[in-house]
Amino acid sequence: MAQDVAAHVTQAELRRAGTDHAAARHRRRRRNELLRHLALAAITFALVAPFYYVFLASLKNATEIFSYPPKLLPFPPYFGNYKKLLFDTGFLRWMFNTLFVAGSVTTLKIFLDSMAGYALAKVDMTGKKVVFMAMLILLMVPIGALVVPLWALMSSFGLIDTYAALILPPLANPLGAILMRQFILGLPKDLENAARLDGLSEFGIYWRIVLPLIKPGLVVLAVIIFTDQFMSFIWPLIATTSDELQVLTVGVAALRSHGGANYGLWSASAVMSLIPVGVFFFVLQRQFLARSLAGALKQ
Amino acid sequence: MNATPAIELIEVGKDYGAVPVLTGVNLTIADGEFIALLGPSGCGKSTLLKLIAGLEELSEGEIYVGGRLANYLKPSDRDVAMVFQNYALYPHMTVRENIGFPLKMAGLGKDEIRQKVEAAANFLQLGAQLDRFPDELSGGQRQRVALGRAIVRQPLAFLMDEPLSNLDALLRVEMRTELVRLHKRVGRTTVYVTHDQVEAMTMANRIVLMHKGVIQQVGTPNEVYSHPANTFVATFVGSPPMNLFAGRVESVGGCRKFVGAFNVPLEGIGIADGAATLGIRPEQVQIAPPETPQTLAATVELVERVGADSFVVSQIAEGVTITARVDAARSITEGDRVAVRLPPAELRLFDVAGLAVPREGA
């Protein structure tokens, strides 16, 4: 009987100790979560604050920008900077040129890179490894080293100051083909074999089987190429001379050097420049949900 | 049933540079036959299947499919359909599209494709899954879709590359029966690659046993099991494998005997004196009470109970054991002294090269 009571007490104590322990663990978890959220909030602030500052500056006139203390919510907002940017500068033309060049390069490169990637990953051909190594080495050559020979080449073709000068050179960048090769290497050989038995040609396999399966990879590549082209500065600066062919980066830089210190206008150009990239990314990120390889193979 | 062989392989060889994968493969597969290519991993069975399908290039020899030389035919022109080890379903297509894809590629009209796809799907009990994607199906259903994609083409031959190897044990047994039923109903030649001897023994009309790129034996499951062509077949087929004992054949006083860890008289086996290997299947080994005449004295080392049967491993000489398959109801335990009887008619003898020596009159 005494033993039973002792056992009973011990059980009760253990239960209580267990409850205390669980409560302590819960408190510790909540504290850690709070710290994590505080750290995330600080990082978010550090990332968003500069953009918000630029956005505010774009909605202020020259006097308000330097007023102290700064206004966190400019009311009423001043749209003069945007009006000036859109109607008194070549901004819309620059935007069109940029979208046209970035869009063309992205579309063409998606096809060329995926085809090259397929060939490098799946087609048996002599010298494949040498070609791949050459592409890897080329990836390490900085743009500065390529600018002069590239300009000479374009000039000899009479393409300087044309859209072709802006579109053709980026197509030779091997990064996309290397990325696509890695994506396509992951596809099982049996899928190609099944397609071959079903009567598909090599191009048919690429077009009807491989391309739909690497859609997420294509989206990643498209985002990389588009943003890279959108922000490209050195080559467009060198390859074009006329105002009609200037792209956004070159035009905005010219705005700074020729238009005096107009911070409101600069801020408005920065905000407007971000819109197409944001829209492009927003549209394409939904494609990340494309049907993946799940279900193709035994698991 | 057609007199022309469905598939004929003549001196087929395949190498990858200096590495030979298949050597001198000769095989004739009759129309409507279910052939199993059986062998351990890396023996070349899957490569042989891919050579027949045209997915690998021949190094030497000739392949005839339906009486036509197929060496230079494209895979899609060989009139064969393949079911892959990994189902190889197109993940971005529905079941309907997957099954209908080969027909679409063959240029059939939409209505005809729809009819054939629905007929194949109903045949394989996939009617309700036609508009689903592969990742929404169970393993067995995916397997059926892969089969559907093959049968919808109504090819001359089905080539199956270990199609059940990744299914769980229960589903595998179920699918095994379904495949056999399918073969009986469709009646097409089937070449089935497997490393699972149970699959080969239970499904095939004939087994082609391969090792290191060479065919070791071609025969019915019974022939391969009961009359193995060599020691490799004797040990690869059967679980537990055939008991093998190294020794010599000697003539003593007009009688021929196998002399090794133990001596047994040989009856009806014509072999010259010299090194040899004696074999006997575990179920032919008889366990008798100790001191039974004309037996070998043995001590039971291990008893493995596997349901209806038990495998009794007994020591018959220093370092030499023999496995017997006995009824699980028999009360034999480790340490028991027993007598082992080897029925002379069940003994198999292999020469110094490991090749089976035929029994006289056989």
Q: Is the ipTM above a cut-off of 0.95?
A: no
Query: DSSP letter at A236?
Result: H
Which chain B residue's Cα is nearest to A204? B105
Q: Each residue of B59-73: pLDDT tens digit?
A: 999 999 999 999 999
Triad B301, B302, B304: Cα angle to 5°: 165
Q: Cα Rg for chain A, rounded, in angstroms? A: 29
Question: Which amino acid, residue A125?
Answer: M
Chain A residue set in contact with B, beta carbons under 8 Å: 188, 190-191, 193-200, 209, 212-213, 291-299
In the prediction, which pLDDT does B124 show?
87
CB within 8 Å: A199 and B102: yes
Which chain B residue's Cα is nearest to A209? B90
Q: State the distance between the two ends of chain B, measured CA to CA, in whole angstroms.
A: 30
Q: Token pair of A127, please? A: 């010298």
CB within 8 Å: B88 and A200: no
Question: How large is the average pLDDT for residues B161-168?
Answer: 86
Count CA atoms closer than 13 A to A51's CA, side-chain side: 10
Supply the mean pLDDT for chain B.
92
> Which residues of chain A have a pLDDT value below 70?
1-10, 14, 258-259, 286-299
To probe the interface with B, which of A191, A198, A211, A214 has the most B CB atoms within 10 Å?
A198
> Which residues lie below 8 Å from residue B304, measured CB to CB, with a gap of 6+?
B310, B311, B313
Query: DSSP letter at B44?
Result: S
Whole-angstrom distance, CA of residue A285 vs CA of residue B205? 55
Q: State the distance between the two ends of chain A, measured CA to CA, in whole angstroms.
A: 58
Taking residue A224's Cβ as centre, other Cβ atoms within 10 Å add up to 15
- Give the 3-state secondary structure of residue B207: strand
Q: Give the closest residue to B276 by CA, choosing from B362, B361, B355, B358.
A: B355
Q: Is the dihedral of CA A131, A136, A139, A140 positive or negative?
A: negative
B157-161 vs B189-194, strand pairing mode? parallel
B135 touches chain A (CB under 8 A): yes
Whole-angstrom distance, CA of residue B175 vs CA of residue B164? 7
In the prediction, which pLDDT does A299 show?
41
| Least confident stretch, A106-115, B265-274, B323-332 | B265-274
CB within 8 Å: B91 and A213: yes
Nearest-neighbour CA in chain B from A132: distance (Å): 23
pTM: 0.80
> Which residues lie below 8 Å from residue A124, measured CB to CB, with a gap of 6+?
none
Q: Token pair of B249, please? A: 């054949």
To probe the interface with A, which of B51, B52, B84, B175 has the most A CB atoms within 10 Å?
B84
- The number of C-beta contacts closer than 8 angstroms across A and B is 85
Q: Is the dihedral of CA B216, B177, B183, B91 positive or negative?
A: negative
Q: Each residue of A233-278: pLDDT tens digit?
A: 999 999 999 989 999 999 988 887 766 778 889 899 999 998 988 8
Taking residue B355's Cβ as centre, other Cβ atoms within 10 Å add up to 12
Looking at chain B, the whole-number percentage of residues with pLDDT higher than 90 is 74
Q: Give the closest residue to A272 by CA, choosing from A1, A81, A22, A107.
A: A81
Question: How large is the average pLDDT for residues B149-172?
Answer: 89
Q: What is the largest CA-CA distance in chain B?
A: 82
Query: DSSP letter at B241?
Result: P
In the prediction, which pLDDT does B13 show?
96
Which chain A residue's Cα is nearest to B75? A197
CB within 8 Å: B85 and A291: no
> Who among A190, A197, A212 is closest to B75 (CB)?
A197
More confident residue, A289 or B159: B159
More confident residue, B360 or A95: A95
